[in-house]
A and B are shown apart, each in its own frame.
Chain A
Amino acid sequence: MRRAIFLNRGEIWTTNIERALSKHFALVTHNYRNNLIQQVIDEIRAADLAIVDVSIDDQQMREVLEVIRRAKMQQHLKPALLCISRVNRGPHFQYQIERMGARFAYGQ
């Protein structure tokens, strides 16, 4: 089964998405607000897909995206990246995300 890692902020709205994703992927979830990102690099590298909650644009979120970008560079495109947001971030932000080679979807 395809492996996915869901990096979120531990908010309630992500639980429904987590449940849906776990039907399609072997899913592991981490809360990146706990500064765990450096500890889950191996899991990111092992995943086929990384899903990141980008609802709040802060330093932690940018660090997560940078770690995934580096993993993609080292491993010839793997993992695929999907960013999700519960709030409207506007076309500029969405464009920036897609320019990183990621896909973007709104949670609401």
Chain B
Amino acid sequence: MLTDNNIANVIAQAELALLEIRELANNGPRFRIVHRFHRVGADCLPGEEVLAIFLLDKAQEIPLLLSLSSRLVFNYLAEWRWVPQGATQIVTGIHVSPFYVRHGLNGGKLRRRKISRYCVKEYIKRIRRALGIALASANLLIDPTRVLTSESTTGNEVLYRLRAKVEWVHLD
């Protein structure tokens, strides 16, 4: 026998299901980027390492299986997620930022990667592939090209942008 409570619960779950997809459609999925070799004082300082990137879905943490270079590009795109950027801008940003120049140095070994503008397209492809795997295992039926978008300019340059919610976690 159905009670008013059961019906209220069904309605509440219906509203929640709608809210969930609206949130996902508007803001994209959520990611957690883990930095290690953190020093007390401030976050995201030079010398830290981008340890891992996780896709968050409900109570699950699904790792994105990315190489170091791809993790650096992802971290950069996450930092600048409100500004679409071309390959040259991404490379310049990574080469100039002290975070990437001294990447991993707090751990005793510099873990820097040289990223050229010609490689950015390939890294974007790899990130999308890893996104596809993670989104599929979370059963989030989202096209990775809608998460990491390519936006055409009036010229022939392509701008990349990460449409997602991102949080950073720091480990010592």
Contact A108 B142 (CB under 8 A): no
Give A76-108 as 1s and 0s: 1 = Cβ < 8 Å from B's Cβ atoms: 111111101000000000000011111111111
Contact A82 B25 (CB under 8 A): no
Contact A101 B141 (CB under 8 A): yes
Chain B residues 1 to 15 lying within 8 A of chain A, measured CB to CB, are: 1-2, 6-7, 9-15
Contact of B7 among A16, A77, A99, A104 (CB under 8 A): A16
**Interface-side segment among B16-24, B35-43, B81-89, B96-104:** B16-24
Chain A residues 1 to 21 lying within 8 A of chain B, measured CB to CB, are: 2, 4, 13, 16-17, 20-21
A72 contacts which chain B residues (CB < 8 A)?
141
Contact A82 B141 (CB under 8 A): no
Contact of B20 among A80, A104, A106, A107 (CB under 8 A): A80
Q: With A13-B2, A72-B141, A77-B25 in contact, is A49–B18 under 8 Å at CB?
A: yes
Q: How many A-B residue pairs have CB under 8 A?
A: 79
Contact of A77 among B1, B13, B58, B141 (CB under 8 A): B141
Contact B6 A51 (CB under 8 A): no
Q: With A4-B14, A49-B14 in contact, is A106–B6 under 8 Å at CB?
A: yes
Check: A30 CB closer than 8 A to any chain B CB.
Answer: no
Contact of A78 among B10, B11, B21, B146 (CB under 8 A): B21
B139 contacts which chain A residues (CB < 8 A)?
99-101
B15 contacts which chain A residues (CB < 8 A)?
24
Q: With A13-B2, A17-B10, A77-B24 in contact, is A82–B142 under 8 Å at CB?
A: no
Q: With A98-B58, A103-B17 in contact, is A76–B6 under 8 Å at CB?
A: no
The 5 closest A-B pairs by CB, nearest first: A80-B17, A105-B13, A103-B17, A73-B141, A77-B21
Q: Which positions in A face B, CB cutoff 8 Å?
A: 2, 4, 13, 16-17, 20-21, 24-25, 48-49, 51, 69, 72-73, 76-82, 84, 98-108
